[in-house]
Amino acid sequence: MEITLNVPKICYLLSAVLIIMVSILGSPPLLHEAMSQGQVKNNRNSNSTSSSSSIQAESSNKNTAPLNSVSIKLSEGYVNGKIAFFIATDASDNQVAESITKNTGFKVNFAPGLALTPASARQQGYDFVNGIKTNGSPMGFQLGIASALPGEKGYSPLNQLNFVKWNANATARILKSAAEVMTAEKNGELSVAKTNIVINSPAIVSMSNK
């Protein structure tokens, strides 16, 4: 079988198709522009999806980053007439360790070896067992007293615990320094019961105060 192609008719047909496309889009450049816009739109969608994925990945990385910190409740106390802040991490007496843990919500370790530290490595701390009731204090009465702060003579993070008790014939008041405790004891207003309980309770000094 022999197939005959009528070339003039095919040319007329192609010309007709081209005229129809030009009439719809205006001109070949508009056709090119339309295709380009479609490409740009696709690229924008792609970039938006990529950017969104990057943000989600970054957010996910932040949420899953390991935490390198712990929270320890600060305890207030007096040192040389001013309020100071302390943390407690260990105590040589198990009952004291459990009591501080209960009051602060932070686990204080029982470390009996602290009681073996020499006296020269300790500073004196004073806790009141009666007198003026105060919230947030270890014994429920006035805030405890420490002897010194970091940088001062006699400072140590190891505090030897002394229990202070007002005598029945004395009028309890707030004392704010070790010197005031010693003076009141000499005047017969209170008694100081020394113990061999040692608490690792370093003072926390703010960088802004240095």
Greater pLDDT, 97 or 40: 97
Q: Of the ranges 103-117, 123-137, 148-162, 195-209, which one carries the lowest mean pLDDT score? A: 195-209
- Average pLDDT along the chain: 77
Domain ranges of the chain: 7-59, 75-204
Residues 52-58: contacts with CB within 8 Å, 24+ apart? none
What does the alpha-carbon distance between residue 9 and residue 66 come to, in Å, rounded to a whole number? 76
- Within 10 A of 34 (CB to CB), how many other CB atoms are there? 12
Q: Comparing C-alpha atoms, which of 204, 202, 205 is closest to residue 122? A: 202
User: Can you tell me whether residue 188 is helix, strand or coil?
Assistant: coil
Q: Tell me: pLDDT of 120 over 60.
A: yes
- Only one residue has tokens 């029945």, namely 168
The residues near 203 (Cβ < 8 Å, ≥ 6 apart) are: 79, 84, 85, 86, 146, 149, 150, 155, 157
% of residues, the chain, pLDDT over 70: 66
- Residue 66 has a pLDDT of 52
Q: Tell me: pLDDT of 167 over 90.
A: yes
